[in-house]
Amino acid sequence: MTENTPNKIDKKNKENESRNFYLSTSFYGALFFSLALWFYTIMNEEYQTIVQIPLTVQLPENKALERKLPSNLNVVAKGNGWNLLNLLYFNNSKNCNINLQNKELNSDIYEVTRQEILKSIEYFQNIETRDILPDNFKIDYGTLFSKKVKVIPDISIKTIENFVFTDSIRLIPDEIEIKGNKEIVDKIDFIKTKHLDLNDINESINSLVEIDDSLSSVLTFSETAIKLNVKVQYKSHIILDNIDIDDYINLKNMMPIPQNLRIIISGGVDDLKKIKLENFYNNLKIKKVNKTDNIYEFENTLPEIYKVEYYPKYFKLVEI
């Protein structure tokens, strides 16, 4: 028992020394150097991969695209790891730019060949282009034409409780100029904004909204973003009681049932201040609901920003 004790101590000391080595700075330094050397070695080897690049086409000033082209091309690229890493993740300038501005275009179709595509690839430093997909395509074009069209808001507005969206959405400008192939432009009567959801709104909005660019490959727009004005107010109402319906009936020997009317006008608090009640009373009119009986109702003469409710909604005229 006593003879084995020194051996056990020595073994334990060796285990501690081994553990301390792995925990030492030297071990981590050696590990980092090994990993760096391994990474440097594999990054200097050659690889082949597929890279997606944007496609742009430049036509003469009097020409415009007639058919949408692919927005990207797939390039089979070969190079060492460093150059491919830069191309894939850091090179934002890479593209394929088909420049036809100085070409004589006599027909309505121009066919781009594989060789022309490869020559048009830009910013591929130290990279070998092995293949391109698609390796050819046709450009349909026509005469450039321009016109002004209305901009329609594609905007959903929801206010919080006790607030109200009181007016139509204002866009400034409310029309823009579009340019493109005449056959395409002739078919377009308006352009929408990008869809926008405005939720839990409790104040007026003055900001920018972008134009829908789904047709940007075949059209150009004079504006890409326009001003958006949305008027939001605190909600309130005006109550008008005991209005004598008989004052608005121009029929002799007829009596309304019921005889009195209650009107509630709801809207934004600032808009309600603009209502001149004398004018409102003077402009009240009645109309017949249908031709077969004597049921009538009042017509709303206020703008749509106001909600007008009549109690009762209908009344009857009886002979007296």
- 123-153: string of b/e by CB count within 10 Å (b at 16+)? ebeebeeeebeeeebebebbebbeeeeebeb
Measured between alpha carbons, how far is 143 from 164 in angstroms, rounded to an integer?
48
Beta bridge partners of 132: 75
Q: According to CATH, what is the number of the domain 46-135?
A: 2.170.120.30
pLDDT tens track for 171-190: 999 999 999 988 889 999 99
pLDDT-based confidence at 34, cuts 50/70/90?
A: confident
Six-digit token string for 30: 């050696």
Q: Please tell me what DSSP assigns to residue 300.
A: P
Name the CATH architecture for the domain at 237-319.
Answer: Beta Complex (2.170)
Per the document, the length of the chain is 320
Same-fold call for 143-230 versus 237-319: yes
pLDDT tens track for 44-81: 999 999 999 999 999 888 888 888 888 899 999 999 99
Measured between alpha carbons, how far is 217 from 63 in angstroms, rounded to an integer?
14
pLDDT-based confidence at 1, cuts 50/70/90?
A: very low
What number is the average pLDDT over the span 146-161? 93
Say whether the peptide bond before residue 312 is cis (omega within 30 degrees of 0).
Answer: yes
* Other beta carbons less than 10 A from residue 50's beta carbon: 12
Helix (H, G, I), strand (E, B) or coil at 260: strand
Measured between alpha carbons, how far is 218 from 188 in angstroms, rounded to an integer?
12
Q: At a CB cut-off of 8 Å and minimum separation 6, what does 140 contact? A: 65, 66, 67, 108, 109
Q: According to CATH, what is the number of the domain 143-230?
A: 2.170.120.40
What pLDDT does residue 233 have? 92
pLDDT-based confidence at 195, cuts 50/70/90?
A: very high
Q: Using the structure block, give the residue that is written with the tokens 């009344």.
A: 315
* Other beta carbons less than 10 A from residue 86's beta carbon: 15
Extents of the domains making up the chain: 4-43, 46-135, 143-230, 237-319
